[in-house]
Amino acid sequence: MSTLTAQEGIKTRSRYLRGTLGESLADGATGAVAGDDVFVIKFHGSYIQDDRDRREARRAAKLEPDWTFMIRTRTPGGVLTPSQWLGLSAIAREYGDEGLRLTTRQAIQFHGVIKRELKATMAAINAQLIDTIAACGDVNRNVLCSPNPVESRAHAEVYEWARRISEHLLPNTRAYHELWLDGEKQALEGVVEPIYGPTYLPRKFKTAVVIPPQNDVDIFAHDLGYIAIIEDGRLLGFNVTAGGGLGTSHGNLKTYPRLADLLGFITPEQTLAFAEAVLTTQRDFGDRTSRDNSKLKYTIIDRGVDWFKAEVERRLGFELAPARPFVFTGQGDRFGWHEGADGRWHLNLRIPAGRIRDTVDRPWLSGLEAIARVHQGDFRLSPNQNLVVAGVPAAHRDEIEALVRQYALDLYTSQTPLQRDALACVAFPTCPLAMAEAERYLPDLLGKVSAVQANHGLLNDPLVLRITGCPNGCARPYLAEVALIGKALGRYNLLLGGSVQGDRLAVLYRENIDEPEFLGVLENLLGRYAAERDVGERFGDFLHRRGVLDGLHGVHRERGAA
């Protein structure tokens, strides 16, 4: 019989996510938390990190690593009030590194929080009526929802379902309130976690809700997906998907990205039951002996889509209806001003890599505070690391626009399509998994790729490029037309050919290449694209039509292969 992973033992011993976090937080001899608590604290929405740029110097000085904590919010659909925005911005100034980071899962991350201020930071976030429970860990994480500014009436209803899914799949333990908010201690007898059980899920679980025709959440990348079917402005229900996931491990041929399967159609009132049925099926049948193969996509691969669908339907007590027709036309954000069906306006701002702070030429943290003080709508975090100033009354549009220009938040007006659509994960210096640069390298990389585009008259043509520092796929690179996946400092795997509808995976084209080789490949292929493309044809589609990617599959090159 296979042995369970060490993480399964930690969850069992954690007493429903308590661990020894109380003792770890009280230990002033170190800036870290104890062994098991490094894993347990993830369920509370926090990761321990250190500054990898300073790691060797501190080791030479016989000092422990420069430990800090990243905290991630649970903000379903990424919707925040102006008051909440101001509160979170103040928290970043007082406890973090004086900046906010918008994530690809519509959350806000605080970096640089030290241990002795961790509890105060958590309490301050909670005072804004926001929590961080289940933002990380082996549970359902923050639920995505299209920040669709045009379908504003439907968005309100669809967003409400995203919020309800998030609430329904929250852990039931009171450990979060006991540890961070001095809540009353919970008796541990009886059923503490009716959905999760004492060991939660085998691995993280990601859910998204999308409003066609814009696949801005990359719906097929998630464990669980809901595609809103809207007719004459009315939500009829959802097409449902399961089994997507992008994370891999270099050199492990048993790991690979996978697009979710389309299972059928449900009515709105069946939404929560379907979510629970999918999640509990993974709870009961997911692999707990290997972290590499513990996600839902592998459960479905191992047992088959037909088996999985039948098991979900058995738990539901009814069969799924056939999927309804839908069309996706793109996967990015629509920048600039857009009028909603309710007559209010929505401004989609470009925030490269989601990083908001005050710099000499981009005082964005202060600028968004100024907007929040007068804004009468809400803020919506985009799944593409951008920000929508949503629900602006027509009479206040000029006021918001003036502040946007004053604080240089109008970057979207001067960037090329490549620059506007690019994504990058954090990578160095704070991510412990990073093998190569991503966010810090992105501006320089985009400048050089733009130069290649300009050589062929393509500077104003769209091209989706994404870069990550490791193969876990946080910036969803496996769905990009051009993707760089970090292997070592200065070296990346190059993947090509994803679709802009988010329904085709990119494939490995070159392995372990450096920047000059990457730019050389791009020079050649973009030159061919400029000369041979059909009218309106995207780069990823061109590569497939012209056979450039023939014979290439997946993200691994088996040993001995060309």
Q: How do residues 104-139 score in pLDDT, each as one tens digit?
A: 999 999 999 999 999 999 999 999 999 999 999 999
Every domain of the chain and the residues it spans: 137-332, 336-415, 418-545
- Over residues 354-374, the pLDDT tens digits come to 999 999 999 999 999 999 999
Residue type, 552: L
Shortest CA distance to 122 belongs to which of 65, 183, 63, 61? 183
Task: Please confirm, yes or no, whether 283 is among the known catalytic residues.
Answer: no
Contact in structure between 203 and 294 (CB atoms under 8 Å): yes
CB 477 within 8 A of CB 466: yes
Give the number of other Cβ atoms within 10 Å of residue 55's Cβ.
Answer: 13
Q: Which of 136, 425, 487, 557 is catalytic?
A: 425
Express each pLDDT in 295-353 by its tens digit.
Answer: 999 999 999 999 999 999 999 999 999 999 999 999 999 999 999 888 999 999 999 99
pLDDT band at 182 (very low <50, low <70, confident <90, very high): confident
CATH 2.40.37.10 holds for 336-415: no
Quick one: DSSP state of residue 536? Answer: T
Q: Is 136 an annotated catalytic residue?
A: no
Please state, in angstroms and rounded to a whole number, the distance separating the CA atoms of residues 519 and 199: 47
CATH class of residue range 137-332 = alpha beta
Q: Active-site residue among 203, 309, 355, 431?
A: 431
Query: 425 catalytic, yes or no?
Result: yes
Question: Which segments of 195-295 does DSSP mark as H helices, in order?
Answer: 271-285
Residue 145: active-site member:
no
Q: What is the mean pLDDT of the chain?
A: 96
- Active site residue: 101, 288, 474, 476, which one? 474
CATH topology of domain 418-545: Sulfite Reductase Hemoprotein; domain 1 (3.30.413)
What contacts 248, CB < 8 A, 6 or more positions away? 255, 256, 257, 471, 472, 473, 555, 556
**Does the bond joining 171 to the residue before it have cis omega, within 30 degrees of 0?**
no
pLDDT-derived band at 148 (thresholds 50, 70, 90) equals: confident
Residue 286 has pLDDT above 70, yes or no: yes
Catalytic residue among 11, 18, 42, 72: 72
Task: Judge whether 137-332 and 418-545 match in fold.
Answer: yes
Average pLDDT on 466-483 reads 98
Question: How would residue 149 be classed by pLDDT, with cut points 50, 70 and 90?
Answer: low
- SS3 sequence of 156-180: HHHHHHHHHHHHHCCCCCCHHHHHH
Residue 151 — pLDDT band, cuts 50, 70, 90? low
DSSP 3-state of 182: coil
| Pairwise CA distance, residues 157 & 151, whole Å | 10
From the list 18, 105, 206, 288, the catalytic residue is: 206
Place of tokens 């919010």: 73
Catalytic pick among 74, 283, 470, 487: 470
Active site residue 487: no
Residue 299 φ/ψ, nearest 5 degrees: -60, -45
Q: Which has the higher per-residue pLDDT, 302 or 156?
A: 302
